[in-house]
Amino acid sequence: MRLRRAAKGVGRFLVEACGEVVGEAVLSVLACVLLGGLALIAYLSWSFSPRFTIAGAGLLSLVLAHGAWQAFRDPTKRHRRGFAALTAAAFTVTAATALFLLLYGPGCGCL
């Protein structure tokens, strides 16, 4: 009976360890693909028009700054509507993507 319980425990440990290794590999590949996609977008945008690239980066910075302001200011009784909700969501998605790349990007061998 003890041998069977020990074998089940070892089996569960192996399945969990293999799952973590596969999960880490999938997240690292996803980070490499995302990093490559962002680099490709920046390269194509710059090769198309450097002025539009800088203007777009400035506009994106303003939108993200407004979203951060909306996300971190004191809540009011009203819900966010329209542009404020859109910029807050854009900031949240961008912050989550940056955190993901910060955690899994350095493990990417493509850099």
- Residue 80: its pLDDT value, please? 66
Cα 80 vs. chain centroid, distance in angstroms? Answer: 24
CA distances from 32 to 9, 77, 92 (A): 35, 42, 21
5-34: pLDDT as tens digits: 777 777 888 888 888 888 888 888 888 888
What does the pLDDT read at residue 78? 66
pLDDT at 47: 94
- For residue 43, the model assigns a pLDDT of 93
Low-confidence ranges of the chain (pLDDT < 50): none
DSSP string, 78-96: SPP-THHHHHHHHHHHHHH
SS3 111: coil
Q: How confident is the model at residue 23, as a pLDDT? A: 85
* pTM, 2 dp: 0.72
Q: Where are the alpha helices (DSSP H) in the chain?
A: 2-48, 50-72, 83-104
Query: Which pLDDT score, from 0 to 100, does residue 58 have?
Result: 93
